[in-house]
Amino acid sequence: MEWCQVCGIAGVTSWGGAALTDDADVLLRGMADTLAHRGPDDVRLLRDHNVGLAFTRLSLVAPTDGGQPLVSPDGSVVLIANGEVYNHRELEAGLPSGVRMRTRSDCEVLLHLYQRDGLSFLDHVNGMFAFVLWDRRRDVLLFGRDRFGIKPLYFHRDGRRMVFASEIKALFNDPGTPRRLDWDGALNDLGLSATPSFIHDPVNTWFEDIEMAPAATIMEFRLADGSLTEHRYWSLPGADRQSDASDAEYVAAYRDALTASVRDCASADAELGLFLSGGIDSAAVAALAGRVQTYSVLTGATVLNGDAEWSHRTARMLGLPNEQVLFDVDAVPGVEEWKRLLWLSETPLCGPEAYYKYELHKYARTRHPQIKGMLLGAASDEFNGGYMETYAEGPGWEGFMRSLDGFARRTALLTRPRYAQWYGILDAPLLRDTALGGRPQDPYEEYLRWKYRSLQQYNVWHEDRTAAGNGVEARVPFLDHRLVELVASVPVDRRAGLLSDKRILRLAMEGILPEPVLSRPKVPFYHGEGRLHTYRTFTAMLTQQDNALVEEALSTDRAREFLHPDGVRENLARLHSDREHGALELLLRLVNMGLLESMTRDLPPAPVTGRTASALSSVPVEDWDAEAEALSARTLHRPAVDPGAVYALGPDVLLAGRADEEDTWYVLVDGSIEFVIDRASEELWLKVLRALDGVTPLAKVLAEAGCSLDRMRPLLTEALEHRLVVAA
């Protein structure tokens, strides 16, 4: 079977029956060339009267009949599709007896389903896909995408015509398509500014007059006049208030659905790999997928948060090969390297996660060129309660629900901003939520809708681009509608027991994953304990070559219309001196906006078709415990502790004790308590901190405190790293 795989689709159509001219052939070829990285194995073009289609293919095998467009036997329906229909055999078996598949493409079944079922033809399709279907008889063009928008499809239309493509950059081959960043739309996007409130707006394309075909929807364009109607074929379900299933039955159903989804995603004629993070999500996929080559990110952040160690240990427990791909302490994306990644991704949300995953895909393709699909553990957190601890205002599910109430309130306040003061002046509320026009009956359902939107805006967007940019298909078993429908429908009174900290997944994997993996808590990929090291890397990226990326981002009139050049530079300077300053990601997003504006003025070359070899290497690990110190040395930038130097507390750091608690001292940063020191167990450390006066050399401080440098070095290193202590 020839899976459609990661492919590029594009095209142009005119309204009102006007035939396309020869110029359309040039446009189609240009769009195909721009999308060549998505499908370097084959290119097909079709121009027929007022419709032109382009298709680029990456094949798992090389059959002679796997190309597109696909055409129905009677010639009335034409299809180009990117993605996979996992249950195509089941669907084919249900077609009328006279129907015969003419190709080995899994997507061909969509033609016959449409001819049989009309606009209901996607109701029972399971897969990830984006397609354009031309019904010649009805003179309509249909756009469709899978339920979660895993595969992309963008378009620009005006009163005369429409162009469409898998990536935005391909649309810019059309002289009539605007090349302008939508600054106002972006700055109003609460996701870009990381505002803690529910967001249900349509997915933002970031560019003026560029639209995205919505997920779980069929768009029908009438070619006679360009008019549009939409048919939504799937929505997130609400809680099942009639269910009498036991917790054990929910867990068993979840296990069966996940097993089936992994089996579907792991079906291929080509070899697959898997990104193993060290958490339960990717571990579950690994355990159910069978023997696959696994890859893990080895950085300062993943060493500190334990992900690198646990990915190694999990692979060992499951008997899988694992390569720890090293991003050493001095690895920093270059100026042109970052711009290429940003242009590939087409989103200001491009950040550390996209960089690490892109480089991991590149490494995997360099080391194992036969790998064309990559299994991921992504999208489990969003629907399985994985962010409970991240958002919770207090312990357990109750604390999580309190935080969701706060999200709902902040969302409502956006419509009545002058009410905000009444909700913020005292600890206890003064006004009822009804004063804001009410609140959602079920904030958790609002939360799921928000996460559904953020998956499309960020997760599946960057997963698609980082994989496709290396000629790889990203496969996401947790984005199977059967799984998501199951957990979304858990009754309200059962959520705490099944969804607290992904409990349903942990219970489902009992007997399949080893207990240490089952119980390991979620940790952030590059935030958390290792955030400092990630921030150091990307601050160095922004400041290299005299702040070259920032200065280019500020170089266009449109960017300077919205960005404050001196403020941007001042925040960058502060980042350089204070690596924990929280502005890095917001600053990077605005810099990305400016860079995208600059690149749309002078379009960069299309992403490289012949993939460049990865410069990264992996570190063979036999015994993590024995090699941990050496791995830390290669990934962590640890400041040296000089016994002859003079040290003092950082400028915003205060060491304070309370008269009624003589044994307890506090380290305050900017007035907030960051650390608590217990005098009984940490008396020597307390003595050293109190003696760092900016005058006395460290050696003398240690001698007077009665302790050695070796004993204090780990604590001093950490304090220097976090700028609690600075060289005077």
Q: Which two tokens stand for residue 260?
A: 């089936």
> Reduced to 3 states, what is the DSSP secondary structure of residue 409?
helix
CA distance 387 to 390: 5
User: Long-range contacts: 437-443, Cβ < 8 Å, 24+?
Assistant: 437/412, 438/412, 439/405, 439/408, 439/409, 439/412, 440/408, 442/238, 442/239, 442/492, 443/401, 443/404, 443/405, 443/407, 443/408
Cβ atoms 169, 346 nearer than 8 A? yes
Torsion of CA 406, 410, 411, 417, to 10 degrees: 160
Q: How far is C-alpha 411 from the geometric centre of its chain's CA atoms?
A: 23
- DSSP annotation of 49 reads T
> Reduced to 3 states, what is the DSSP secondary structure of residue 598?
helix
CB burial class (10 A; 0-12, 13-18, 19+) of residue 582? exposed
CB count within 10 Å of CB 681 equals 10
CA distance 601 to 558: 11
Q: Which two tokens stand for residue 367?
A: 């080391």
> Reduced to 3 states, what is the DSSP secondary structure of residue 633?
helix
CA distance 110 to 87: 11
Which residues have C-beta within 8 Å of that of residue 579, sequence separation ≥ 6? 532, 535, 536, 539, 723
Q: Which two tokens stand for residue 489?
A: 């429908």
Length of the chain equals 728
CA distance 632 to 628: 6
Closest residue by Cα to residue 219 from 132, 129, 336, 313: 132
CA distance 185 to 52: 31
Cβ atoms 295, 276 nearer than 8 A? yes
> Reduced to 3 states, what is the DSSP secondary structure of residue 141?
strand
CA distance 687 to 710: 16
Cβ atoms 107, 77 nearer than 8 A? no
For residue 7, indicate whether it is catalytic. yes
Strands, sheet with 8-14, edge to edge from the N-terminal-most edge strand: 42-48, 51-57, 8-14, 161-165, 154-157, 211-212
Q: How far is CA 11 from CA 174, 248, 510, 566, 719, in A?
A: 10, 49, 48, 43, 57
Report the b/e string of 611-624 with b at 16+ CB within 10 A. beebebeebebeee
Which residue is associated with the tokens 């950085």?
299
Q: How far is CA 8 from CA 40, 43, 59, 265, 369, in A?
A: 9, 9, 12, 20, 20
Q: Which residue numbers are catalytic?
A: 7
